Amino acid sequence: MASCGNGVALLNFYNIPSTPSFVGCLQDIKIDWNHITLENISSGSSLNVKAGCVRKDWCESQPCQSRGRCINLWLNYQCDCHRPYKGPNCLREYVAGRFGQDDSTGYVVFTLDESYGDTISLSMFVRTLQPSGLLLALENSTYQYIRVWLEHGRLAMLTPNSPKLVVKFVLNDGNVHLISLKIKPNKIELYQSSQNLGFISASTWKIQKGDVIYIGGLPDKQDTELNGGFFKGCIQDVRLNNQNLEFFPNSTNDASLNPVLVNVTQGCPGDNSCKSNPCHNGGVCHSLWDDFSCSCPAHTSGKACEEVQWCGFSPCPRGAQCQPVLQGFECIANAVFHGQSSQTLFRSNGNITRELTNITFGFRTRDANVIILHAEKEPEFLNISIQDSRLFFQLQSGNSFYMLSLTSLQSVNDGTWHEVTLSMTDPLSQTSRWQMEVDNQTPFVTSTIATGSLNFLKDNTDIYVGDGAIDNIKGLQGCLSTIEIGGIYLSYFENVHGFTNKPQEEQFLKISTNSVVTGCLQLNVCNSNPCLHGGNCEDIYSSYHCSCPLGWSGKHCELNIDECFSNPCIHGNCSDRVAAYHCTCEPGYTGVNCEVDIDNCQSHQCANGATCISDTNGYSCLCFGNFTGKFCRQSRLPSTVCGNEKTNLTCYNGGNCTEFQAELKCMCRPGFTGER
């Protein structure tokens, strides 16, 4: 077996170069039935031939980079490179062209130096973040016969006398995409990698010598704008069939076509998007390819930190809920109104530009005739009230000579919350019918006539909430939510001390300086019967009040009043009872409060002229004269009595009672003296 060397072409006898020499192994060679080996051929008859058949695996060391495929040859290897790589080991890329660097306008022109017939393939790598831009145009002396551009980030293609093709595939995501244009007889197809994106049926176009390929734009700016504008991004590895159309060839030998470049630079650098300081509110900019990102401080968001999350700063006073709105915030709360003393005045800040075509609010009250909102700027006016227990809406606006009025189908003064929306049925018209929605219950009430919008409220019009200029209707007593007019809130907290100013342009300002009581409860809390022991519950909207029966006190009438606290029993002990007390009197006293001193002498038994003396335990007898004993019925000494029933005399100690000259006298025994 013999192997032949380097495959160099040899000259034959006629000095004509032959095809390259065979490279490989030959075995069992016979000439005229004679075996030919290295041993039996003459010296000088062989070149680069040696015995044996040794072969090396050149691909074992994986010499092909960038995912290139290694092909093992006899004496070396060959790399089949993936696009856009090239070179012996696939280490180099075809140099990309940067279009639109720093928003410049540029393009590349290739003029074909040969004809390609009616079947060709034109492909390239594309990278962009822009939604529009011309990718390529093929032009002959008469037509731009093929145009491919980006439209809303999608590939679009057009030829004369054919409908436009716009594919679904989105290309402007900043990634590199391989797109291909395959021109066939009567048909042109678009591909992304190997995926067929669509085709158009078109006349058969033959690609002739002298035709021009424009990439990224056209010499005429106006024509370019009609085809998506100048491309901004990178294009790389353009190929016409298997021919490379290089933007930046290393030498004239590398370039099959000499390109004309206008404002196209080498490589694929991105613009320095942070140069213009795009991040707002103290955000830190990070440059990306043709783009930027912002590290936003707390409570900001958006691509450029332009959206401030105002509610994160807790800007609303206590008792209010922060509601994000476009470019700002509002403070939302339910308010408690107590008639004329609590009316609130609002007025536009003069910057409202939107159409005011609706008004939304919620309320609860028990009054049958109250005013909720009133605004007037002659001849236009707006009035919302409750009349005869039903919601009543009146409006005259715009150029209409007619006053519109709507009345709710249901009563609304039951003390429960009702949600109301009043809106134009055709908000895009200058005049329209209006409809009333209460608690989203159908059917809605719709007017029979049309009138204008609420735009007159923009023009320095006073808006009274909770009361108005109607003499025969009193102000609201009840609860009212934050009113929305055209999506703009009428906040009750405009002039609260320490309040953060709201940044949004469109506002209704609170003009009146009176503070509004907030915290109105959503439900009638008396429905839960909070008052105990028969107490009467009164809903005061922001809370409730219990009127307690006798004997009870406390917020819920839960406390039994101690009637003994004031010590009502003067001469006795007090026992507390429900709404009452009882006195246990000390001896000698009586009455409800033991205030009566009992007279024990009323039925005394003191005799013989004794004096009755009352005390706490009864009474005692103070005996008179010679009597003694408990009731003075016993004599102390012996005695005699003389006289009659009318006139008598008692003589003691044995004295003798005598009558002398019609006069009674006692004659005393020796040792005694005195009249008796």
CATH class entry, domain 566-597: mainly beta
Backbone angles phi, psi at 225, to 5 degrees: -60, -30
Q: How confident is the model over 264-287, as a mean pLDDT?
A: 94
CATH 2.10.25.10 residue spans of the chain: 273-308, 525-560, 566-597
- Any idea which of 91-95, 336-340, 589-593 has the lowest mean pLDDT? 336-340
- Average pLDDT on 182-205 reads 90
Count CA within 13 A, CB hemisphere, residue 595: 5
Ranges in the chain annotated CATH 2.60.120.200: 94-266, 321-518
Mean of the per-residue pLDDT values of the chain:
87
Query: For the stretch 190-220, what's the b/e string if a residue is b when 16 or more beta carbons lie within 10 angstroms of its beta carbon?
Result: bbbeeeebeebebeebebeeebbbbbbbbee
Output the pLDDT for position 602: 81
Residues 6+ apart with CB under 8 A from 105: 217, 221, 224, 230, 263
Higher pLDDT, residue 536 or 471: 536
Which residues neighbour 212 within 8 Å (Cβ) at sequence distance 6 or greater? Answer: 109, 110, 111, 112, 138, 139, 140
By mean pLDDT, which of 51-55, 477-481, 484-488 is the weakest? 51-55
**Taking 50 as the threshold, does the pLDDT of residue 50 lie above it?**
yes
Name the CATH architecture for the domain at 273-308. Answer: Ribbon (2.10)
Which is more confident, 288 or 590?
288
* Tokens matching residue 411: 């009563």
221, containing H or E segment: helix 221-225
| Confidence tier at 469 by pLDDT (50, 70, 90) | low
Q: What is the mean pLDDT of residues 78-103?
A: 93
Answer yes or no: is pLDDT of 238 > 80: yes
CATH class of 525-560: mainly beta
**Unique residue bearing structure tokens 């002039």:** 495
In sequence order, what are the residues at sequence separation of 6 or more whose Cβ sits closer than 8 angstroms to the Cβ of residue 41?
none
Is the distance from CB of 95 to CB of 246 less than 8 angstroms? yes
Q: How far apart are CA 522 and CA 542, in angstroms?
A: 9
Q: How confident is the model at residue 586 (pLDDT cuts 50, 70, 90)?
A: confident
pLDDT in tens, 118-162: 889 999 999 999 999 999 999 998 888 899 999 999 999 999 888
Q: With 0-12 CB in 10 A as exposed, 13-18 as middle and 19+ as buried, what is 548?
A: buried
Q: How far apart are CA 333 and CA 322, in angstroms?
A: 9
Residue 382 has φ and ψ, to the nearest 5°, of -140, 135
CATH T-level assignment (fold) for domain 321-518: Jelly Rolls (2.60.120)
Residue 9 has pLDDT above 70, yes or no: no
Helix (H) or strand (E) holding 224: helix 221-225
User: Which CATH code of 2.60.120.200, 3.30.70.20, 2.40.50.100, 3.40.190.10 fits the domain covering 94-266?
Assistant: 2.60.120.200
**pTM for the predicted model, two decimal places:** 0.59
d(CA 154, CA 72): 42
Mean pLDDT of 572-577: 91
Report how far residue 110's alpha carbon sits from residue 390's, in angstroms, rounded to the nearest whole number.
80
